[in-house]
Chains A and B, each alone.
Chain A
Amino acid sequence: MKQLTTQRCLLASALLALSTGTQANTFTWASSTDPQTTDPHAVNAAPVLSFLNNVYEGLVRRGRDMSIEPSLATSWSPIEGKNGWRFELREGVTFQDGAAFNAEDVLFSYERASSEASDVRSWFSPVTSVEVVDDYTVDFVTKDPNPLFPDSIANFMIMDKDWTESNDAALPARDAENFATAHSNGTGPFQLKSRDPGVKTVLVPHEGWWDTVEHNLSEAQFVPIGNAATSVAALLSGEIDFVSPIPLQDAKQVESRPDFKVLEGEETRVIMFGFPHEHEKLLDDSANPFTDVRVRQAAAHAINIDAINRVVMRGKVKPASQLVPAGISGFSDANSGRPEYNPDTARALLADAGYPDGFSFSLKCTNDRYINDEALCRAAASMFAAVGMDAQLTTVPVRNYWKELRADDFDMYLLGWSPGTFDAEHPIRFLLHTQDNEKKLGSWNFGNYSNARVDELLPQIQREIDPSARQGMIDEVVKQTQQDVAYIPLYTQPLMWATKKNIDVTQRADNFFILKWVTVN
């Protein structure tokens, strides 16, 4: 184990214990995946970003309701005379090693995070340059007007220039380790005390944190537990205080015990089926029926979402009509109807399209990526079969899944999408725009749905400053793609957390676990 404790920290925490005299609250929480690294720019993955949000901070941050609020920047506004945003930085902020925070650190972090070695560089693709105006003012200059930019960098975490450079970690490590992989020095409310990857990571409060402390923890320990049944057992035995996620079907058991509670919420991830819009043939070499919109409509009408919700998802999900759920910016009720479940309509549509006896196709799903994904696909396959669409189900672990989808190895596939920017533009960019490697668009549009009008609207949506004009364009895209049945949106994935009854936590829709909102009663 790597002890990071410096004498200074020890002394500080000892002083704190003396001065406040409160009881020591050690909080232990578990999740299924260990953050791979403590480098905030090396991996753009939820377990890493979620964990590091407790240690590092960005210019802006998200509140309990996901709204954007000031963090290391106190305010931001469009730069006059140029495209881009000016950020006024907070004064008096110190990193956990005591160094002061200023504009140099922002510039350095931008350079690091947008370097080729970084996995988060896509956040900065609209940025042409970053200019330090003075010690506490920074300009992010963009190619076009970019109203969404501040919202899109909530997870862009600021590192200390001196600390990172003097520890030879000026670039994120890609295929080797560097100092920042297992050490950290942020401005956030907690700092790393020790880290034993895959076993246990210990955090303690950062005494010099600039914001008001709301938690009452003296230490927080994170343990990864991969097996879902084991993690529920660990909670029920009292060894851990909190676990996320728990299997939907275990919620009843946890709730039935007096000392525990379950927190249910809605994630922003929409689960959907995708089609091979562009394939000439199915995998079995027959003609591709899904190019006919009536067949895609039939598939949508074949799904009994209420039955799936009741049995497979234990009544915990909300049916979805669009690729983003309500509550995401850019969502509107204008297009919130979804195709009703009606096997007869489905059969009639299939007959119309020239498939009165149905056809056989291959349905590809993950079995370890989304909640109850395998059971969902089995249920869907049997619903498709009931209208004559004979689905041959293949379930694949996620480590093989994307590769096979990119190789067009599917006739219909399962996908879950969570808009990283919490805006409706995100799925248009990744799932609806025609595949275009050069412009880096449509990179997750595996079936290559392609509609010229959608492609035309995307850049306009990205540039548009006027909210109602923007909403109008988004609504047009949604309507168009619903008519085309580009995807069949199924439901919003639920969040299911479990904790001891005496602990208060805040569940945020991005499924991040934020320690500063934990109180032990």
Chain B
Amino acid sequence: MTNFWNSDSVWLFRHRPTAIIAAIVAVLIIGSAAAAPWIAIANPYDLSTFNLMDGLLPPLWQSGGQAQFVLGTDDQGRDMVSAILYGARLSLIIGLSAMAIAAVLGVGLGMSAGYFGGWLDTIVMRIADIQLALPAILTALLIDGIARGVLEQETHQSLRVVVLITAIALSLWVNFARTARASVLVERNKEYVQAAEMMGQHPVRIMSRHILPNILGPLLVIMTVDLASAILLEATLSFLGIGLPADSPSLGTLIRIGMQFLFSGEWWILWVPTLFLVMLVVAINLLGDFLREVFNPRLRR
């Protein structure tokens, strides 16, 4: 334990106040989002639990606020606190899954492309070009459209989240692929890889056992950055009208709905979820910065 406490990264962490604060915020948000079903007073998915007559109530401290709705209610009488907890939960599920899929896909393709080169490299990188040329909004429409065509209406509805995850993952994998490929191009000429090759090790083994651990640093950094962008991308897709339905709210959907109340005086419907989202994304990004420092000792001062 003492060893861990005194290890390099932990030492660094203890001396980075921003990292400590970011970690606390991230843990708090992620923890409360994960615990939403137990700590939220209402389930925003359950239509029968809220009453339209409670709609548009301001936060507790404003006149007209009610103790049971600390941050007010939205236009449907939904408790904002419950809404953002469940919303953050959904946003995180979407963001984490999209990021994980993108990472596996991107790193796999990128490393193979870099390692084997030749036609495989050409094909992967050209597919990456195609992907870059299709804006995320269009990828989302594509996936959504295919799902709509292939799946029954009911199934499609329940798979909206999966559709969104796939769409976001597809627009993020290129980053991983490019980084992995570039790193592999550098690593594969190093002695340790050549030694492994001469020993006749299988390429998959060389890549996973030898190269991957050495490029994990930059990949981890991309993962945090992409987690942040995935959460934001979900919000943007929602704004453009291809996000989640309003009755299963993510933070992005909540912000989209809140945008309608920008001039109406019911500021909390927009700003509560927006602030929550910003705190979450900033915390994740700061943690990413910290990881960057850990994996790149040269950046330390």
Q: Is B truly associated with A?
A: yes
Taking beta carbons and an 8 Å cutoff, which residues of A are in contact with B? 228-229, 232, 247, 249-250, 252-254, 283-284, 304, 307-308, 311-312, 362, 367-368, 372, 374-375, 378-379, 381-383, 385-386, 390-395, 397, 409
With A283-B153, A391-B47, A397-B241 known to touch, is A249 a contact of B266 (CB < 8 Å)? yes
Interchain nearest-CB distance for B55 vs A (Å): 4
In the bound complex, residues from chain B placing their C-beta under 8 Å from that of A385 are: 47-48
Which residue from chain B places its CB closest to the CB of A404 in the assembled complex?
B153
Please state if A253 and B265 are interface contacts (CB–CB under 8 Å): yes
Which residue from chain A places its CB closest to the CB of B50 in the assembled complex?
A382
Please state if A394 and B153 are interface contacts (CB–CB under 8 Å): yes
With A and B bound together, what is the CA distance between A252 and B241 in angstroms? 26
In the bound complex, residues from chain B placing their C-beta under 8 Å from that of A392 are: 154, 157
Bitwise, B240-266 to A at CB < 8 A (1) or not (0) is: 010001110000000000011111111
9 closest cross-chain pairs (CB), A and B: A249-B264, A311-B55, A382-B47, A385-B47, A385-B48, A253-B263, A250-B263, A307-B52, A379-B52
Please state if B245 and A375 are interface contacts (CB–CB under 8 Å): no
With A and B bound together, what is the CA distance between A390 and B247 in angstroms? 13
Please state if B246 and A395 are interface contacts (CB–CB under 8 Å): yes
26 A-B contacts (beta carbon < 8 Å): A228-B260, A229-B259, A247-B260, A247-B263, A249-B261, A250-B264, A252-B264, A253-B263, A253-B264, A254-B263, A283-B152, A311-B56, A311-B76, A312-B52, A362-B154, A367-B241, A378-B247, A379-B76, A382-B48, A386-B48, A393-B246, A394-B153, A395-B245, A395-B246, A397-B241, A409-B153
B289 within 8 Å of A (CB atoms):
no
Please state if A375 and B76 are interface contacts (CB–CB under 8 Å): yes
B293 within 8 Å of A (CB atoms):
no
B77 within 8 Å of A (CB atoms):
yes
Please state if A378 and B261 are interface contacts (CB–CB under 8 Å): no
With A and B bound together, what is the CA distance between A445 and B109 in angstroms? 52
Please state if A394 and B157 are interface contacts (CB–CB under 8 Å): yes
Interchain nearest-CB distance for B153 vs A (Å): 5
Please state if B76 and A382 are interface contacts (CB–CB under 8 Å): yes
B75 within 8 Å of A (CB atoms):
yes
Please state if B263 and A232 are interface contacts (CB–CB under 8 Å): yes
Interchain nearest-CB distance for A147 vs B (Å): 44
Tell me which residues from 53 to 94 in chain B have a Cβ below 8 Å from any Cβ of chain A.
53, 55-56, 75-77
Known: A228-B260, A394-B153. 9 other contacts (CB 8 A): A252-B264, A253-B264, A254-B263, A312-B55, A382-B50, A382-B76, A386-B48, A393-B247, A397-B241
Please state if B154 and A284 are interface contacts (CB–CB under 8 Å): yes
With A and B bound together, what is the CA distance between A374 and B76 in angstroms? 11
Please state if B246 and A374 are interface contacts (CB–CB under 8 Å): yes
In the bound complex, residues from chain B placing their C-beta under 8 Å from that of A228 are: 260
Tell me which residues from 154 to 177 in chain B have a Cβ below 8 Å from any Cβ of chain A.
154, 157
In the bound complex, residues from chain B placing their C-beta under 8 Å from that of A250 are: 263-264
With A and B bound together, what is the CA distance between A249 and B266 in angstroms? 9
Please state if B52 and A381 are interface contacts (CB–CB under 8 Å): no
Q: Is the interface of B mostly helix, strand, loop or mixed?
A: loop
With A and B bound together, what is the CA distance between A11 and B76 in angstroms? 59
In the bound complex, residues from chain B placing their C-beta under 8 Å from that of A312 are: 52, 55, 75
Please state if A311 and B153 are interface contacts (CB–CB under 8 Å): no
With A and B bound together, what is the CA distance between A283 and B245 in angstroms? 19
Bitwise, B262-287 to A at CB < 8 A (1) or not (0) is: 11111000000000000000000000
In the bound complex, residues from chain B placing their C-beta under 8 Å from that of A252 are: 264-265
Please state if A394 and B245 are interface contacts (CB–CB under 8 Å): yes
In the bound complex, residues from chain A placing their C-beta under 8 Å from that of B260 are: 228, 247, 249, 372
In the bound complex, residues from chain B placing their C-beta under 8 Å from that of A390 are: 47
With A and B bound together, what is the CA distance between A372 and B56 in angstroms? 15
In the bound complex, residues from chain B placing their C-beta under 8 Å from that of A381 are: 47, 247
Interchain nearest-CB distance for B99 vs A (Å): 27
In the bound complex, residues from chain B placing their C-beta under 8 Å from that of A367 are: 241, 246
Interchain nearest-CB distance for A414 vs B (Å): 14
With A and B bound together, what is the CA distance between A506 and B106 in angstroms? 60
With A and B bound together, what is the CA distance between A249 and B246 in angstroms? 18
Please state if B154 and A229 are interface contacts (CB–CB under 8 Å): no
Please state if B53 and A311 are interface contacts (CB–CB under 8 Å): yes
In the bound complex, residues from chain A placing their C-beta under 8 Å from that of B245 are: 393-395
Which residue from chain B places its CB closest to the CB of A228 in the assembled complex?
B260
With A and B bound together, what is the CA distance between A156 and B68 in angstroms? 58
In the bound complex, residues from chain A placing their C-beta under 8 Å from that of B247 are: 378, 381, 393
With A and B bound together, what is the CA distance between A247 and B264 in angstroms? 9
